[in-house]
Amino acid sequence: MTVVVATADFEVYHDVVNELRDRGVRFTTVEPGDELPDGARICIRAEDDDLDTDLPVVVADPEHPREAVEEALTLLRGEAGRTVVGIDPGTRPGIAVLSGDMVTAAFHVPLADAAAIVRKEVEDTVDPIVRIGDGARLQGAQLIRELDNVRVELVDETGTTPYLGTGARGMGDALAAVNIARLEGEVVEEREIEPTAGELGVIKRRSRERSADNREIDEELARRVAAGELTIEEALDEHREE
């Protein structure tokens, strides 16, 4: 918990709390004059509230609650800057974690591991953003679904993949993720994708490659894999049961 909303003004309370919830910021609320909980780093109050604290205080205008939340988050971020995660989606996404302009971590992992890594990297950070390239549609849609507790932006990834010189093999996805992290995108909560015949064919081929008995799932199961309802292994199990 980092932010405390301490106000008797219902309008300020309601609007500020909703803004904090929308951004996924951890907070608590107290009555003005109550003891502040451990872990508090900043307080938000209304103009008429009487609050005695040594912590930084942001005074919220009931007409502009978002500005108060922005000010509070700016103070919380301090010099380190906002945490932004860029993802170049694919079967092995590139992931880059930035704090301000500094790249603090990079990964190149199987798609099944990507969401867990991202959640771990943004845990306990203030107001993080995850930016996902729009190129690999099915894998990107899956990541958006799995990161439903984080602010996600969909980014036009045109031109984000750099030229790789000699000895740089394997770095392209991570470097593209850095570039994606630095581009503003459109906030999304889901991405509905109708898989193409070619995409379904790829899923069916992969099912055959992963099956010990050279089994290929049918189109209906392939569509459920594309929608993120099943893994290929789960689809193979269902196909065997049929």
User: Over 80: is that where the pLDDT of 168 sits?
Assistant: no
In a 10 Å sphere around its CB, with 0-12 CB exposed, 13-18 middle and 19+ buried, how is residue 137 labelled?
Answer: middle
- Summarize the confidence of residues 185-213 as an average pLDDT: 86
CATH number of the domain at 83-188, please? 3.30.420.140
User: Over 70: is that where the pLDDT of 48 sits?
Assistant: yes
- Summarize the confidence of residues 78-94 as an average pLDDT: 86
Q: Which of 15-19, 25-29, 71-75, 140-144 has the lowest mean pLDDT?
A: 71-75
Domain 3-77 identical in fold to domain 83-188: no
- Summarize the confidence of residues 134-141 as an average pLDDT: 88
Domain boundaries, the chain: 3-77, 83-188, 197-241
Asked if 51 and 57 touch (Cβ cutoff 8 Å), the reply is yes
The pTM (predicted TM-score) of the whole model is 0.66
- Summarize the confidence of residues 177-188 as an average pLDDT: 94
Amino acid at 198: G
- In terms of CATH, what superfamily is 3-77? Response regulator (3.40.50.2300)
User: Over 70: is that where the pLDDT of 79 sits?
Assistant: no
Band the pLDDT of 1: cuts 50, 70, 90.
Answer: low
In the predicted model, what is the mean pLDDT of the chain? 88
Q: Output the six-digit token pair for 239.
A: 């196909």
In a 10 Å sphere around its CB, with 0-12 CB exposed, 13-18 middle and 19+ buried, how is residue 136 labelled?
Answer: buried
- The 10 Å Cβ neighbour count of residue 145 is 16
- Summarize the confidence of residues 207-235 as an average pLDDT: 86
Task: Write down the pLDDT at residue 29.
Answer: 93
Task: Write down the pLDDT at residue 183.
Answer: 94
